[in-house]
Amino acid sequence: MAESWNSPEKFNSEALQWDDNPRRRALALKVATAIITAVEPLKTMHALEFGCGTGLVTLEIAPLVGSLRAIDTSREMLGVLQEKIRHAGISNIETACLDLSSPLHRGEPEEKFDLIYSNMTLHHIADTAGFLNRLSTILLSGGILAIADLDQEDGLFHDDPEEQVHHGFERTALAELLQSADFEEISFKTAFVMEKLNREGKNAAYPIFLVTAKKSATDSTITPKTGTPS
């Protein structure tokens, strides 16, 4: 599986100003709300967030689950989140600097999770199919996956034309990849529409989807933690 295109150096340099962007905060709140509505997190859940950044979604989900591991490839982003955790006295979030998409990483979590989620991270990962298969291996049977990301876009969303990213995802194609990775009950909804000035200087609307899916229950004795995602 190919490593992430994600550049820790880029996100390290932006960490201290990351939360200053009101559009970014609005997106995170909408995505968190969509995840909570679709998944209905429970206190019995052990959750994993990949690409947690400064924790804008993390801090909305954490009070609703039993424990949460928040991971990112940027140490500076995690430093901002860790300060928030200390300031708020939160005890159920564990942070880790690692890249789940890298087959070379030796510090990846060995435990399995009831819920895995992310916001605007998947388009930074080169091998989408391989990564979804990787997530499937660390999600419990009947567990929930919830991913928010860009619908397929015009290639102008990112300000840097040299940045290596997927230009969003076509929903049907992504659903097929999820099915191949042993997910079922796949459902899409539009979580947010981001209005921004794109790289050509034009105001454009970029929809952000939330896709939810269940890991196929290979063990009939395992009962899913939640109801069917809406």
The pLDDT of 30-56, averaged and rounded, is 97
**Among the listed residues 140, 119, 111, 118, the one whose alpha carbon sits nearest the alpha carbon of residue 225:** 140
Residue 79: predicted pLDDT: 95
The least confident of 10-14, 76-80, 93-97, 218-222 is: 218-222
The least confident of 81-95, 141-155, 166-180, 216-230 is: 216-230
Residue 226: predicted pLDDT: 41
Return mean pLDDT, the chain. 87
d(CA 119, CA 181): 20
Domain segments of the chain as ranges = 8-215
d(CA 30, CA 164): 26
Residue 12: predicted pLDDT: 62
42 half-sphere exposure, CB direction, 13 A CA radius: 10
**Tens of pLDDT along 111-156?**
899 999 999 999 999 999 999 999 999 999 999 999 999 999 988 8
Residue 16: predicted pLDDT: 65
Residue 209: predicted pLDDT: 98
**Tens of pLDDT along 100-121?**
876 545 555 468 999 999 999 9
User: 8-215 maps to which CATH number?
Assistant: 3.40.50.150
